[in-house]
Amino acid sequence: MGPFLPAICVVLLALNAAVSPASVGPEDYPAVDEAERTANNDIIFDDYRGKGCVDDSGFVYKLGERFFPGHSNCPCVCTEDGPVCDQPECPKIHPKCTKVEHNGCCPECKEVKNFCEYRGKTYKILEEFKPSPCEWCRCEPNNEVHCVVADCAVPECVNPVYEPEQCCPICKNGPNCFAGTTIIPAGIEVKVDDCTICRCHSGDWWKPAQCLRRECLNGQPSS
């Protein structure tokens, strides 16, 4: 193995020269942004866990101190585990409430609806009104409208009329009935022609009149 020793020594010397510190200069390191390194060194994050609590505005509170964290209107107590906030049983908001404020721990109704709405109009509590001639309505304390529709009696005539602002039809000429195609008043005998006398049924105005015909000669009653 004698002839190979000089060759091995030469290879080892070459490797040592390649990794020698003297052969590595500053230019061989990757460039580092000095400003970035300085900025990273200046960032310091405060850690208040187990020491205090911080609200939404950045204020720090000591353990055991009561405060409002900002996201809740209910008071909180600072503990080692963080804020512990009150969770009261708030009263229910009135279903007719029209204005709710959230300034306190519980929402508060500031204005309750004190009127009724009916067909696009508003009415005061206990106010009575007639939306139509046949309806009588009232605004109830529960903000609901209760109406009563008039129950009209059957008119005792065959030609009833409806007057403005009146719900039920009326018989302007009193009770009557039909005698053929002629309308006659009720309660009396009516001579509808020279040979015929008719009378309305008592109380049964819708029935045709009872008529009595006499024997006539040339349109004149016989003697």
Structure pTM? 0.39
pLDDT of 4 > 50? The answer is no
DSSP structure string for 85-118: E----PPPPPTTEEEEE-SSSS-EEEEE--EEEE
Three-state secondary-structure class, residue 162: coil
DSSP structure string for 103-159: SSSS-EEEEE--EEEETTEEEETT-EE-SSTTEEEEE-TTS-EEEEE--PPPPSSSS
Going from N- to C-terminal start, the domains of the chain cover 51-111, 115-149, 153-214
Q: What is the model's pLDDT at position 46?
A: 56
CATH number of 115-149: 2.10.70
Q: What is the model's pLDDT at position 32?
A: 45
State the average pLDDT over residues 72-94. 84
Q: What is the model's pLDDT at position 13?
A: 38
The token pair that represents 6 in the structure block: 């000089």
Q: In this predicted model, what pLDDT tens digit does every residue of 110-146 receive, in sequence order?
A: 887 888 999 999 999 999 999 988 899 999 988 899 9
